[in-house]
Amino acid sequence: MIDQHDEETIRCPRIGGEVNFRFCRFENNMLPCRWIVGCWKSYIDIDTFLKDHYSTEELDQVFVPPKPKIQSLVNLIERAKKVNQEDE
């Protein structure tokens, strides 16, 4: 059952408070949080859980490396320039 651990709670290092496992399963656009393995590995067999309940494609979406911050900033600047040009 995918919801077998949903009521278990831990302290989330990102949020700074307690969250339940259900939150961690849905936090990333209805997919697990990218940090779910590190947070839950001491409490449940998280690797087996993920393999049993998610496809390889879904897990690839979850664990894609983040873009470097500078790349994200450049993308935001480029989008803002484009919007500004369209408004003129």
For 25-83, the pLDDT digits (tens) are: 999 999 999 999 999 999 999 999 999 999 999 999 999 887 788 988 999 999 999 88
Cβ-based neighbours of 40, under 8 Å, separated by 6 or more = 10, 21, 24, 46
Q: What pLDDT shows up at residue 64?
A: 87
Question: If you count DSSP H runs as helices and E runs as strands, how many of each does the chain have, helices first?
Answer: 5, 2
Q: What pLDDT shows up at residue 83?
A: 87
Closest CA to 14 of 43, 38, 45, 48: 38
Distance separating alpha carbons of residues 30 and 61, to the nearest angstrom? 11
CA 12 to chain centre: 12
Could you tell me the pTM of the whole model? Answer: 0.71
Mean pLDDT, rounded, for 5-31: 96
